[in-house]
């Protein structure tokens, strides 16, 4: 567990793309030097243990043959906008990654647990694989339409790229809401309060109801969390 992960991420900044080198450490080994983060480090480690356990149990209940051994990592930089995401390592093991900006902006363990539970839920529901399928299907359909209209190879390729984009985006909002629902369950099972955790939504920019926005409006997300919390008996 002391191993340091290095991940290369393609970061789109402005009009150019730059490859950034990300150094990742397991939550247990993370020892920030800034006093503000040091105060939050112990809470973050506790949340990581509890959410990894709860998400693992939920994953084993809901899936067959899927790797449910969650690893929570901290991205040491470059320090940037608060961000958390999930991915898989080369063995298919689920990684949930928080950057230090994200940990710094979470007000308490409930908010950390809520975001972590949401990311773990994406893995349990197989959203990465489903996104890839949707992109392939979109590319195929748009490519065939372009071909049927007698377009040349360049136009067909452009159509396929657009189709992949549309295919990915078409379910993105639905996936976010699914992850909010299961994330609420995981947060609760980990011993944290999803209703306090979702206060995080009130501080992130609201994408509103734009067509093809990758995230649903915050109000819609609050609605599904409240409904799930009510189902769990957390609200009257
Ligand atoms: Zn998400």
pLDDT reported for residue 197 = 95
CATH class of 5-10+23-125: alpha beta
| pLDDT reading at 5 higher than 70 | no
Confidence at 217, pLDDT banded by 50, 70, 90: confident
Separation of 147 CA from ligand 1 center, angstroms? Answer: 35
pLDDT reported for residue 81 = 81
Separation of 230 CA from ligand 1 center, angstroms? Answer: 21
Separation of 119 CA from ligand 1 center, angstroms? Answer: 6
Separation of 89 CA from ligand 1 center, angstroms? Answer: 18
Nearest to 214 by CA among 93, 127, 111, 95: 127
pLDDT reported for residue 209 = 61
Whether 60 contacts 120, CB under 8 Å: no
pLDDT reported for residue 19 = 52
Separation of 111 CA from ligand 1 center, angstroms? Answer: 14
Higher pLDDT, 111 or 9: 111
Other CB atoms closer than 10 Å to residue 12's CB: what's the count? 8
| pLDDT reading at 26 higher than 70 | yes
Other CB atoms closer than 10 Å to residue 32's CB: what's the count? 17
Per-position DSSP letters for 125-192, written without gaps between them: TTHHHHHHHHHHHHHHHHHHHHHHTT--HHHHHHHHHHHHHHHHHHHHHHHHHHHHHHHHHHHHHTT-
Per-position DSSP letters for 12-72, written without gaps between them: EETTEEEEEEEEEEEGGG---SSHHHHHHHHHHHHHHHHHHHHHHHHHHHH-SS-----EE
Separation of 129 CA from ligand 1 center, angstroms? Answer: 14
- Max mean pLDDT range (106-115, 157-166, 198-207): 106-115
| pLDDT reading at 113 higher than 90 | yes
Give percent above pLDDT 70 in the chain.
Answer: 85
Q: Is the peptide bond before 78 cis (omega within 30 degrees of 0)?
A: yes
Separation of 201 CA from ligand 1 center, angstroms? Answer: 12
pLDDT reported for residue 8 = 41
pLDDT reported for residue 117 = 97
What's the whole-number average pLDDT of the chain? Answer: 86
Which part of the chain has CATH 3.30.2010?
A: 5-10+23-125
Confidence at 77, pLDDT banded by 50, 70, 90: confident
**Structure confidence by residue, pLDDT tens digits, 179-190:** 999 999 999 999
Separation of 98 CA from ligand 1 center, angstroms? Answer: 13
| Phi/psi of residue 99, nearest 5 degrees | -90, 165
Separation of 113 CA from ligand 1 center, angstroms? Answer: 14
């Amino acid at each position: 567990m002391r191993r340091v992960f290095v991940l290369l991420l393609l970061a789109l900044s402005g009009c150019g793309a730059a490859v950034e080198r990300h150094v990742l450490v397991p939550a247990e080994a993370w020892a920030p030097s800034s006093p503000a983060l040091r105060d939050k480090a112990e809470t973050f480690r506790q949340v990581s243990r509890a959410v990894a356990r709860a998400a693992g149990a939920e994953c084993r209940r809901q899936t067959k043959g899927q790797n449910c051994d969650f690893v929570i990592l901290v991205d040491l930089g470059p320090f940037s906008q608060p961000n958390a995401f999930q991915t898989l390592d080369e063995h298919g093991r689920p990684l949930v990654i928080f950057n230090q900006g994200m940990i710094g902006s979470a007000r308490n363990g409930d908010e950390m647990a809520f975001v972590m539970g949401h990311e773990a839920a994406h893995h349990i529901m197989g959203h990465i694989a489903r996104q890839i399928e949707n992109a392939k299907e979109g590319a195929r359909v748009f490519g065939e339409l372009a071909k049927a209209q007698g377009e040349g190879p360049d136009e067909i390729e452009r159509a396929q790229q657009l189709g992949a984009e549309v295919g990915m985006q078409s379910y993105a909002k639905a996936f976010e809401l699914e992850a909010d629902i299961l994330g609420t369950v995981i947060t609760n099972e980990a011993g944290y309060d999803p209703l306090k955790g979702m206060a995080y939504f009130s501080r992130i920019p609201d994408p509103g109801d734009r067509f093809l926005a990758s995230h649903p409006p915050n109000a819609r997300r609050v609605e599904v969390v409240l409904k799930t919390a009510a189902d769990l008996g957390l609200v009257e």
